[in-house]
Amino acid sequence: MGIRNIVKVGDDILRKKSRKVEKFDARLHKLIDDMKDTMYKAEGVGLAAVQVGVLRRVVVIDCGDGLMELVNPEITKTEGEQQDVEGCLSVPGRNGITKRPMKVTVKAQDRDGNWCVYQGEGLKARCFCHELDHLDGVLFTDNMIEEVRIECAE
């Protein structure tokens, strides 16, 4: 298990733009494996590399139906709209309602550089948007419509 520290809000790195991955090597594979372990340990549904202090365009997501490893992800299509409660492992103790598309299509490379296409609806669509925002230094609190209080935060 490779558990890394999760960077918290207030650290400037969260506001920086992550760089494209060019090398699909053992170092990248180790980063992805560590991100996966770190996300599961923290019981999150998604994690971006910048959240473990690495400014590379890498995201892991698991909304309960399996792990997705997204390298250099881009949103190619969005449809509809939803409003729901969001939180973030880097913004502990805060939750809020954000407006996101209902359906999102993403193209991304896998850990070996092969391009794949993913589609998500509902929670998964929100997750794609939230994690990809991290790669451009955007936090969900930037787009929050309303802050909500939750007794047991996600």
Contact residues toward Ni ion (CB under 5 A) are: 88
Whether 131 is catalytic is yes
CA 79 to chain centre: 19
In the complex, the smallest distance separating the C-beta of residue 58 from Ni ion, rounded to whole angstroms, is: 14
Q: Which is nearer to Ni ion, 27 or 41 (CB)?
A: 41
Say if residues 113 and 58 touch (Cβ distance below 8 Å): no
Alpha helices in 4-151 (DSSP H): 26-41, 123-134
Q: Which is nearer to Ni ion, 90 or 109 (CB)?
A: 90
In the complex, the smallest distance separating the C-beta of residue 133 from Ni ion, rounded to whole angstroms, is: 8
Q: Which is nearer to Ni ion, 26 or 146 (CB)?
A: 146
In the complex, the smallest distance separating the C-beta of residue 5 from Ni ion, rounded to whole angstroms, is: 15
In the complex, the smallest distance separating the C-beta of residue 44 from Ni ion, rounded to whole angstroms, is: 8
CB-nearest residue to Ni ion: 88
Which is nearest to 16 in space by CA: 150, 139, 149?
Answer: 139
Q: Which is nearer to Ni ion, 48 or 71 (CB)?
A: 48
Which position among 79, 81, 86, 131 bears the catalytic label?
131
Burial of 121 (0-12, 13-18, 19+ CB in 10 A): middle
Say if residues 129 and 76 touch (Cβ distance below 8 Å): no
- The one-letter code for the residue type at 3 is I
Q: How far apart are CA 73 and CA 116, in angstroms?
A: 9
Say if residues 109 and 27 touch (Cβ distance below 8 Å): no
Take residue 76 and report the two structure tokens written for it.
């190619």
Catalytic sites, residue numbers: 131
